[in-house]
Structure 1
Amino acid sequence: MPEEREIRIQRLNALREQGIDPYPNSVERTHTIENVLTHFDQYAGPEGDFALVGRVRLLREMGKAAFAKIEDGTGAIQVYFRINDLGEESYRVLKLLDLGDFIEARGFLFVTRTGERTLHVKGWRVIGKGLRPLPEKYHGLEDKELRQRKRYLDLIANGEEVKTVFETRSRVISAMRRFLESQGYLEFETPILQPLYGGATARPFITHHNTLDRDLYLRIAVELYLKRLIVGGFERVYEIGRNFRNEGIDRSHNPEFTMMECYQAYADYNDMMKLVEEMIAYIAQEVKGTTRVIYQGTEINLTPPWPRIPLLEAIHKYTGIDVNAFPDRESLAAEMHAKGYIVDPKLGRGRLIDDLKGEMFRKGIPELKQAIFLIDYPLDVSPLTKRHRTHSGLVERFQPFIGGLETGNSFTELNDPLDQRARFEDQMKQKSQGDEEAQVLDEDFLEALEIGMPPTGGVGIGVDRLAMLMADQESIRDVILFPTMRKTAEEQITEI
């Protein structure tokens, strides 16, 4: 690699010595490659004049003629150089060309004797010199971690396959926006740097503002700010944006991720269930052309309505633990230990229930791989949720699961400011006992609630996980262009 880079730099200098700028400020492109290939029969002929640009992917010289293949963002085409057309000086510059360089080529279109659609070049120039070699195109870039660390190489080497994944992600977000806007929702932007973090159970990232001389937090959720907008009089609001949680990295978690949260006044969690199943079915139809999608070998029917399964009933059925029979942390922890589950001594009863939910999905049960709602959660795990209207000890909360992936979270939102204060105080007690992910008490939000918030339903959907589903990708890192990665061995050695 260092030797080849030096050779390329020598060629770069040779271009400059000949008065050629290898990085011009502008280029001339009359058509994309896709356009000329689509209308080739109409455009072909010696009277044509087309200026195409692209990256050189193949290059072979045969004495007084040379062939190359160039590729832009829309396709690839063969180009043909001939010394009689270009003159010796321009043709000789081809010897300074490397695979990966960008060129501009002007000429007419014709078909070779082998049937290859080709641009016959009348004039050309280098418009971007590459100083490092491309990954081998035909063997691809197979190292998974390198593909994620250097996504630009992944896109070059594995082209269509990788581009399709990220085009799918983009279309998921566009379809989500169209659906929400069709339902009367308005999109807003709320602070990423926050004086207090809240709206979710997670550890935050902390930074410091020098001028204000105060610590600030990267948001872990947008919930509390969007609810302030509901208090202020907007009835349907949403935001699609980045959240940051100081947590581990695995196939479904990245510290920086994208969420959609929406809130609707005068609604409850039943309204939000209907919204979620209709929205995701709409997205699937727009992106995949069907509401039946294949995820990791399982066909999933996203057509509404989805099954509604009470959480505690599911835990009892699939783990053998009747949570209702163990009303405190100690008894539940003892039962989990007896059943062979790992018990974190720092977690309260609610977080242990959440762990049991995770164990349930790790069993690979077929019906839990379909699109389902788990509903009616214990109060212990839902500090921002309104109590259930008919079941004591439960709250009106649901989570959608698709393909075994938790894809969101939703509540009938708590709008009783005194109850909310008591829940925050209980969270602060859990934090003092060692639960680093417990929520903090937000006085400004409580003041907003005391002004008055109407009955409200809210939901958050993990955009990355929805993209995993629609693109049939096993890991969240395969649908995030530049995921957070552990240090390489070389970086660790450098630090030492």
Structure 2
Amino acid sequence: MSNEQTTLRIEKLESLRSQGVPVYPERFTRNYELYEASSLEDGTSGVLVAGRIMGIRQFNKFSFITISDIQGNLQLLLKKEEVGEQAYNDFIHFFDIGDFIGVEGNMYSTKTNEKTLRIENYVFLGKALHTLPDKWHGLSNIDTRYRQRYLDLMMTKETQNRMLMRVKLVRAVRRFLEEKNFLEVETPVLQHTSSGALARPFRTYHNSLDTELNLRIAPETYLKRLIVGGFTKIFEFAKCFRNEGVSPQHLQEFTMVEGYAAYWNYEDTMALMREMILYVLKQTFNTTVIKIQGQTIDFSLEWNVVSFRDLILKDTGIDIDLYSNVNDLYRETKRKDIYLEHENIETLGRGNFIDLLYKKMCRPQLIKPTFLIKHPIDLSPLARANNDSPEISDRFQLVVNGAEIINAYSELVDPVEQRKRLETQATLKSGGDLEAMEMDEDYLLAMEYGMPPISGWGFGIERLLMVLTDSETIKDCILFPLTKKI
């Protein structure tokens, strides 16, 4: 804090302090939020508001001041003849853009019809020791926007709006599920095994227990333990951690909403998720019609339903059902001049290889809401096999704008079958597939005590927000994205 501007601001602070002005006062009583005050009728008196000064336009005997917070802003009028010469000069001398001010006054509209509060009294509420970024250029440095998100929130209207939408979206999801009689629960972040998804975990160490632990990659197996324990409809807003590569669609720390319903199948969940998305759109955007990639999409229209096999066949000409061996499938993709990028492609099991093929060749083309069904069973180690075709799972994903935003299953509840599948996953893991699942004896024990039919779902709040707001990167959908240490 050695620059000239900061030195000047500190001098002003010390000068105020020497005059007995509380420079960091305890509180200020407000009777309106800024967004409320900006819609008050002219003549409303006794209005008490506070905010950060974001603009000062100084004239000879009066000044227009703009104050703001995350939800709104308000113009203030400070006139020398109305507050007195001393108070007017003190403002000009001691206040800077970035400082906090509390004011009392009455409302009127300017000639340009802008709602404005005429200040009768004001009080100093806090000094900013750094100058804010230039209002007109904003924060053009992307790295700064992520590292110093508080500046981004101050300066960038788009960021403010998106983060407020996130708040609304979370509230809407929670309200919807509660109204459907789902109970909100919490399960552990620190886990002995990394079950519930195909992903690489973050590892940590518990000193007192002298044991290695994982940060959870999903809450799935603990939520299912609760179904064993007698819960029938549950959900969790779960912070999850996946030690994956950085990409515009992935976060290493994200918020997953996961839920389960006893006695349901995946088709029941499909109906619930469609209803939830429509509810969330109405609550967050006041419409079911939004623009994505220049296309107007009405989510209230019927959604496409397509099978994994049919989609891959359409986009690549490869019928995955003809290749039960991953090596044969790999050779066929090369024969078709399809080159898939992966650091250890030879170590992938058939399921993860097919997933890689789908993600490169098919998923980017799915713009309108599409339910993708009938996934290969080896891609779904915790999903129930289909009664008629045991090599596929009773599962769906909702894909919008080339991004998977919901994943759901009819759950596997047969402990003997689950053991076999986890053994296969453990073999893949020991062979070098770092995203394969570990053996989870504790979860298998819970299953052996008996499970009812179950259907469950999971989706990331950030991914959903990214798609619905047509954001370029998922980092724009989280308040404090992880950045590399300087």
CA 1:40/1:333 → structure 2, altered by over 3 Å: closer, same or farther? same
Match of 1:255 in 2: 252
**Post-superposition shift, 1:239?**
0.9
Counterpart of 1:426 (choices 410, 424, 427) is 424
Q: Is there any run of 5+ residues in structure 1 with no aligned partner, and where?
A: 492-496
User: How many Å separate the matches in 1 of 2:315 and 2:460?
Assistant: 25
Q: Letter of the 1:214 partner, please give it.
A: T
Match of 1:346 in 2: 347
User: How many Å separate the matches in 2 of 1:235 and 1:250?
Assistant: 36
- Pairwise mapping of residues 171-250 of structure 1 onto structure 2 (< 5 A)? 171-250=168-247
Match of 2:137 in 1: 139
Contact 1:33/1:77 (<8 A) preserved? no
| Partner SS state of residue 101, structure 2 | strand
CA 1:116/1:270 → structure 2, altered by over 3 Å: closer, same or farther? closer
Contact 2:53/2:99 (<8 A) preserved? yes
User: How many Å separate the matches in 2 of 1:75 and 1:392?
Assistant: 59
**Post-superposition shift, 1:323?**
1.3
CA 1:240/1:89 → structure 2, altered by over 3 Å: closer, same or farther? closer
- Pairwise mapping of residues 396-411 of structure 1 onto structure 2 (< 5 A)? 396-411=394-409
TM-score (normalised: structure 1): 0.91
**Post-superposition shift, 1:63?**
5.2
Match of 1:390 in 2: 388
Match of 2:13 in 1: 12
**Post-superposition shift, 1:99?**
0.7
Q: Letter of the 1:333 partner, please give it.
A: Y
Contact 1:300/1:403 (<8 A) preserved? no
Over the residues paired in the alignment, what is the CA RMSD in angstroms?
A: 2.1
Contact 1:70/1:79 (<8 A) preserved? no
Q: Letter of the 2:13 partner, please give it.
A: L
Aligned: 1:464 with 2:462: yes
User: How many Å separate the matches in 1 of 2:143 and 2:92?
Assistant: 35
**Post-superposition shift, 1:116?**
5.5
Aligned: 1:284 with 2:285: no
Moved more, 429-438 or 149-158: 149-158
Q: Letter of the 1:211 partner, please give it.
A: S
User: How many Å separate the matches in 2 of 1:358 and 1:286?
Assistant: 31
Counterpart of 1:54 (choices 51, 75, 94) is 51
Contact 2:265/2:454 (<8 A) preserved? yes
User: How many Å separate the matches in 1 of 2:139 and 2:51?
Assistant: 21
Match of 2:322 in 1: 325
Aligned: 1:334 with 2:331: yes
User: How many Å separate the matches in 2 of 1:117 and 1:271?
Assistant: 50
User: How many Å separate the matches in 2 of 1:117 and 1:311?
Assistant: 56
Q: Deviations over 1:37-71 (max 9, x none)?
A: 3223241xxxx433331212222444554442323
Aligned: 1:361 with 2:362: yes
**Post-superposition shift, 1:458?**
1.0
Contact 1:231/1:451 (<8 A) preserved? yes
User: How many Å separate the matches in 2 of 1:281 and 1:58?
Assistant: 39
| Partner SS state of residue 464, structure 1 | helix
Q: Deviations over 1:367-408 (max 9, x none)?
A: x21111111111211111111110142121211111221112
What is the number of equivalent residue pairs in this alignment?
480
Match of 1:25 in 2: 26
CA 1:110/1:466 → structure 2, altered by over 3 Å: closer, same or farther? closer
CA 1:4/1:447 → structure 2, altered by over 3 Å: closer, same or farther? same
| Partner SS state of residue 190, structure 1 | coil
Q: Letter of the 1:266 partner, please give it.
A: Y
Q: Deviations over 1:221-272 (max 9, x none)?
A: 0110110111111111111221110111211100011111111111111211
Q: Letter of the 2:238 partner, please give it.
A: G
Percent identity of equivalent pairs? 40
Match of 1:127 in 2: 125
TM-score (normalised: structure 2): 0.93
Match of 1:77 in 2: 75
CA 1:408/1:114 → structure 2, altered by over 3 Å: closer, same or farther? closer
Match of 1:494 in 2: none
Q: Is there any run of 5+ residues in structure 2 with no aligned partner, and where?
A: none
User: How many Å separate the matches in 2 of 1:428 and 1:149?
Assistant: 39
| Partner SS state of residue 9, structure 1 | helix
**Post-superposition shift, 1:342?**
2.4
Q: Letter of the 2:168 partner, please give it.
A: R
Contact 1:247/1:255 (<8 A) preserved? yes
Match of 1:34 in 2: 35
**Post-superposition shift, 1:445?**
0.6
CA 1:437/1:7 → structure 2, altered by over 3 Å: closer, same or farther? same
**Post-superposition shift, 1:92?**
3.2
Q: Letter of the 1:292 partner, please give it.
A: V
Q: Letter of the 2:439 partner, please give it.
A: L
Q: Letter of the 2:235 partner, please give it.
A: Y
**Post-superposition shift, 1:280?**
1.2
**Post-superposition shift, 1:112?**
5.6
Contact 1:410/1:458 (<8 A) preserved? yes
